Amino acid sequence: MAERSKRTSAVAAVVIAALAAAGPAYRGWRGYQKLRVEQAAEQARAAAELAAADRARADQIRFESQAERLRADQERKGRVGANVDAALRQLASEQPMTQCDGALALGRTGSKEHIATLQNVLATATYGSVRNCAASGLVQLGDKQTPLAAYREWAAGRDSDLQRAAIMGFGEVGPEAAEDALPYLHAWANSPHMDERYLAVESLSKLGPAGMPLLEQLASDTDKNVRERALSIVRDDGTRVRVPLTGSAAALRVENHIQRDSYALLHDPTRLGTGGIGEKLRELRDDRQPQHESSQGPPEMNVLERPCDRLDAEGVVRPVG
């Protein structure tokens, strides 16, 4: 019995010693946990403060931006208002040139509430130049139907100045005028007068794809200015003109096409096929030359059949004799 009591006392002593030793460690762990909780709370407070500061700054920037836009809008409206007032004063003038300037200026303001003003000028103005300026101003303000009706009337009339205004006006209206414009532009494209054909080119250039056939026709015009202007528009559009060309202009067109296709081949080798670039360019050159069933065609169609240029094995255009 005494021996058992001794063992129990010994175990108790060990347990008490262990607990005494573990006490500081336990207290240290609890302290560490408490510190982590406090640090997390501090980080959360800092994040909340930073977020609040960001929101406050964003609100400030938004407020400043709105104030700046409001100020800019007020300034713009002030300028537009001043421009509108100046344009209306010009329209009230008795001088046709001043009235014309006023109509155009009113169109540039974008002030749609004054569409009716320009419609009235278009309908009642004494001078054709003023009516023309009013029509242009209406197009700028977004009213295209009223000017288009006037252009149809002018194009069919006998006043040469209004006819010219109509031809150019069709172009200002744009592609939606093509159906009305093309019959008149076809006549002007075939006019014996160079200046009328040139005006037709300028108007056709603004009618979109519907104007391309007539532009291709005018690309072979006998007048250099008309021809070059039409060619520049067709090239910008990416359409290749298939029209009869004469003299050096024909040779130049062939060379230009070859150079453009050469550039495409160099940047897309998959188009070469099994042959080399020299062989492919010779094929391109052959494709560019007109083919005729007989050699008795018109001289202007046979001009490219003379030995003017030749491609060597490297695909370089070289003159021959």
* pLDDT of 185 higher than 90: yes
Res 116: pLDDT: 95
**For residue 7, how many other CB atoms are within 10 A of its CB?**
9
199-240 pLDDT tens trace: 999 999 999 999 999 999 999 999 999 999 999 998 865 544
Burial class of 299 by CB neighbour count within 10 A (0 to 12, 13 to 18, 19+): exposed
In a domain? residue 306: yes
116-147 pLDDT tens trace: 999 999 999 999 999 999 999 999 999 999 99
71-95 pLDDT tens trace: 776 666 666 678 888 999 999 999 9
Tell me the C-alpha distance between 35 and 44, whole Å.
14
In a domain? residue 138: no
Mean of the per-residue pLDDT values of the chain: 75
What is the pTM assigned to this prediction? 0.54
Contacts 24+ apart (CB under 8 A), 147-156: 147/122, 147/172, 147/173, 148/173, 148/176, 148/177, 148/180, 150/122, 151/177, 151/180, 151/181, 152/180, 155/181, 155/184, 156/184
In a domain? residue 27: no
Domain of 276 in residue numbering reads as 244-321
pLDDT interval class at 47 (50, 70, 90)? confident
71 or 306, which is more confident: 71
- State percent of the chain over pLDDT 70: 61
In a domain? residue 45: no
In a domain? residue 285: yes
Sign of the CA dihedral 232, 181, 218, 188?
negative
* pLDDT of 241 higher than 90: no
In a domain? residue 127: no
Tokens linked to 236: 């910008």
Domain count, the chain: 1
In a domain? residue 289: yes
Average pLDDT over every residue of 37-50? 85
Q: Name the residue type at position 53.
A: A
pLDDT interval class at 243 (50, 70, 90)? very low
> For 160-164, 271-275, 316-320, which range has the lowest pLDDT when averaged over its residues?
316-320
Q: What is the CA radius of gyration of the chain?
A: 42
In a domain? residue 48: no
Average pLDDT over every residue of 45-57? 86
